[in-house]
Structure 1
Amino acid sequence: MYELKTKENDASVIEFIENVENPKKREDAYQLLDLFTETTGYQAKMWGPSIIGFGAYHYKYDSGHEGDAPLVGFSPRKAKISLYFATGDTKREELLKKLGKHTSGKACVYINKVADIDVTILKELIKQSITFLKEKYPAE
């Protein structure tokens, strides 16, 4: 059976951020930590070795695959900072157009630094993602 790699764990979020090599990226990680915590109302938790997640939801796909994931999160990776929001929401795309300098993959939004984006729009993306996921996957 498929084993999820990205699970919530008890690793220290602060310790993880302190180990980010680039000082500017570390500073951005602390800024994002404050922003996500304030916007979500959830305490930050490590998910896997490198994702800082906020809140959680249980998903189940039509295929039968199911698991748990953070509602939103971020990871200060070496190349870029990855931001994790819900996919499949049309409002996400509208907000991303206003976010500022970024690129996006299927599930991630990548930024070089917080200064490149509009944090007001980031807060809207966070709120929208949580609302969307709570409606799509209501707690049983």
Structure 2
Amino acid sequence: MKKTGGSVAAFIAGVTPAKRRRDAETMVALLEEVTGREPELWGTIVGFGACHYRYPTRTEGDVPLAAFAPRKQATTVYLLSTAEYPDELARLGPHDVGVGCLYMKDLEQVDADVLRGIIAEDYRRLLAGETGSAEFTVTD
């Protein structure tokens, strides 16, 4: 994955439906607060910071340190592993999960403090190198 550049504000202004655009604006503010970094476009993903990852299998690449994507069906937040947060997810509110993705259809229906806590802990774990078998090196 690579940074594609472009205006994050213009990208978000084009997000539909309006609820997803509102949620994208909320996510930018939340991730700026948690990471202290500015948003950048990685295609249709809004990322904060950058790192290079490498697995023992020699699979490697570049990804944002923290990121979300405003998809039509739901806002997707990218995490190291959703399995690390069972108690928090139980208190979050309406959502779905994948292995490393958290999907929310309406941020106004979730607990913002719980969401902030999940993202902050995931970011802390990544910076501390608590990433399981993968090795992450901060590049930006």
Question: TM-score of the superposition, structure 2-length normalised?
Answer: 0.86
Asked if structure 2 preserves the Cα contact closer than 8 Å seen for 1:57 and 1:133, the reply is no
The one-letter code of the counterpart of 2:8 is V
- Deviations along 1:12-35, one digit per CA (max 9) or x if unpaired, are 111111111211211111111111
Using the alignment, how far apart are the partners of 2:17 and 2:59 within structure 1?
Answer: 37
User: Given residue 95 of structure 1, which amino acid in structure 2 is its aligned partner?
Assistant: E
Task: Give the 3-state SS of the residue equivalent to 1:8 in structure 2.
Answer: coil
Q: Tell me how far apart the structure 1 counterparts of residues 97 and 65 of structure 2 sit (CA, whole Å).
A: 18
Aligned residue pairs, count: 133
Say whether the 8 Å CA contact 2:82–2:102 is kept in structure 1.
no
1:22 aligns with 2:1: no
Aligned partner (choices 76, 89, 94) of residue 101 of structure 1: 94
Contact 1:9/1:47 (<8 A) preserved: yes
How does 1:82-97 map onto structure 2 within 5 Å?
82-87=76-81, 90=84, 92-97=85-90
% identical equivalent positions: 34
Distance 1:24 1:131, change over 3 A: same
Partner in structure 2 of residue 11 of structure 1: 6
Matches within 5 A, 1:12-91: 12-48=7-43, 50-87=44-81, 90=84
Point out where structure 1 has 5 or more consecutive residues left out of the alignment. 1-5
Paired with 1:68 and 1:28, the residues of 2 have a C-alpha distance of 26
RMSD: 1.8
Separation in 2, partners of 1:9, 1:26: 20
TM-score (norm 1): 0.86
